Amino acid sequence: MAKIKISKNAASIDMTAMCDVAFLLLTFFILTATAKTPEALPVTTPASTVEVKLPDTGLVMLTIGKSDGKDKVFFGMKDRDVRAKTLELMAAKYKLSFTPEETAQFALIDEFGVPIQALKQIIAMKAADRNKEGLQPGIPLDSLDNQLKDWIYTARQANIELGNDKELDFAIKGDAKQEYPNIKKIMDILQDQKINSFNLVTGARGKDF
Partner 1 sequence: MAELNTGDGGGKKGGGKVRSKKQNSKVDLTAMVDLAFLLITFFMLTTSLSKPKSMDLGLPDKEDDPNKKIEMKTDQRRTLTVILGANDQIKWFHGLLEAPEPNGKPQTTGYGKEGIRKELLSRVASVPQVTGEKDKGLIVIIKPTKKSTYKNLVDILDEMAICKVPTNAIVNDFSPEENKLAEELNKSAE
**Footprint of partner 1 on this chain (CB under 8 A)?**
12, 14-16, 18-19, 22-23, 25-26, 29-30, 32-36, 45-54, 64, 171, 173-184, 187-188, 191-192, 194, 196-205, 208-209
The CB-of-71 to partner 1 minimum distance in angstroms stands at: 11
59 closest CA partner among 205, 202, 203, 201: 201
Q: Measured from the CB atom, is 64 or 148 closer to partner 1?
A: 64
Pairwise CA distance, residues 175 & 172, whole Å: 10
153 closest CA partner among 99, 93, 71, 78: 93
Q: Measured from the CB atom, is 55 or 134 closer to partner 1?
A: 55
The CB-of-166 to partner 1 minimum distance in angstroms stands at: 16
Phi, psi (degrees; rounded to nearest 5) at 169: -95, 150
Q: Measured from the CB atom, is 14 or 165 closer to partner 1?
A: 14
108 closest CA partner among 132, 124, 91, 92: 124
The CB-of-88 to partner 1 minimum distance in angstroms stands at: 29
